[in-house]
Structure 1
Amino acid sequence: MKYEQEIIINKPRNEVIAKFSDPSSLKHWQEGFIFMKPINGNLGKEGSQNLLKYKMGKREIEMTETVLTNNLPVEYTATYEAKGVYNFQRNRFLETPDNNTRWISENEFRFNGFMKLFGWFMPGAFKKQSKKYMTDFKAFVENGKSVLDS
């Protein structure tokens, strides 16, 4: 399953990237985020890996992030692997003529085992979650609104 989403963030790209690349800000825009722990390489560098843990409903999900390219402020590409799910994600950040930022996120999901059924019958759930993260990130960058305040 492949899809692309985008959002305009009404802040200059340097401000957007400062928050996007700061691991301590994840808890403010990724609802359910518990922690991120480096497990291989230097944080944020190409080839590095991080363990990410989330609470989604009553379940806790662990995934491994592998950074493929990090040439921010322009692009950040990584894979995210959890049990039964593989996600390739390319994030691009473009400056708009009015000094705002256009964030384009391209996603490709592949599923194995039981998760194949979930991906087949509920593809909208993945798109909805991606859009929510983008919308929450926009609110965090523009207004300092944290999902922790909900």
Structure 2
Amino acid sequence: MKAIKIILGIISVLVIGFFLTGLIIKETNYTAQVFVDKPVTEVFSVFNNSENIKNWIPEIKSFEVVNDNPGKTGSIYKIVVENQGEEITMTEKVLAYVPNEKVTLFFDAENMLKTDDYLFCEEDGVTTIILKSSCKSDSFIMACLFPYFKGTFQEQDQAYLNNFKEFVEKK
């Protein structure tokens, strides 16, 4: 009986800890970075050409323009991604667009609200792309989970940046 009480006590502490995570940590933030051996004008152009996105994010099944603004800011896109055999539809909105310097994208993907801030700078013909990401959720349970998956999110975005680097350097 004493062993059952100890086990239940441990489980209770873990459950309370899990739910406290969602109350304490409202947003999960991380960064990723890549160096591309091409000038910033070329890198920025290839990065923002929607026809290229499937070449560096292989999970994308379709990319549809919903609203394409001339200055890019405010443009909205519908993206279908395949994740472990399941199709997820998300909306991408361009929050900021400064040619050859910055692109900020907001994604709404079923309980995951993600902001990606891409910064571009060039030095000696090498372009640095720095990604600053922020994830949060409308769902309390998902908000509790995100901090535990920070490393996974960061690895995935780093892999996408590495794929982009390979793609643009082959051009």
TM-score by length of 1: 0.88
Larger helix fraction of residues: 2
Pairing of 1:1-150 with structure 2 (within 5 A)? 1-42=28-69, 45-96=72-123, 98-113=124-139, 114-144=141-171
Unaligned runs of 5+ in 2: 1-27
Measured against aligned partners, the alpha-carbon deviations of 1:27-85 in whole angstroms (never above 9, x if no partner) come to 10002111111223427611121111111111111111111111121111121111110
The sequence identity of aligned pairs, in percent, is: 27
Q: Give me the whole-angstrom Cα distance separating, in 2, the residues matched to 1:39 and 1:14.
A: 26
Tell me, yes or no, if the aligned pair for 2:64 and 2:79 is still in contact at 8 Å: yes
TM-score by length of 2: 0.78
Unaligned runs of 5+ in 1: 145-150
Q: What is the aligned-residue RMSD (CA, Å)? A: 1.6
The secondary structure found in structure 1 opposite 2:38 is coil
Larger strand fraction of residues: 1
Tell me, yes or no, if the aligned pair for 2:30 and 2:150 is still in contact at 8 Å: no
Q: Which has the larger radius of gyration?
A: 2
- Structure 1, 11-20 or 128-137: larger mean CA deviation: 11-20
Q: What is residue 17 of structure 2 aligned with on the other side?
A: none
Tell me, yes or no, if the aligned pair for 1:44 and 1:67 is still in contact at 8 Å: no
Q: Give me the whole-angstrom Cα distance separating, in 1, the residues matched to 2:121 and 2:132.
A: 14
Q: In 2 relative to 1, CA 61–44 (structure 1 residues): closer, same or farther, beyond 3 Å? A: farther
Which residue identity does 2:134 align to in structure 1? E
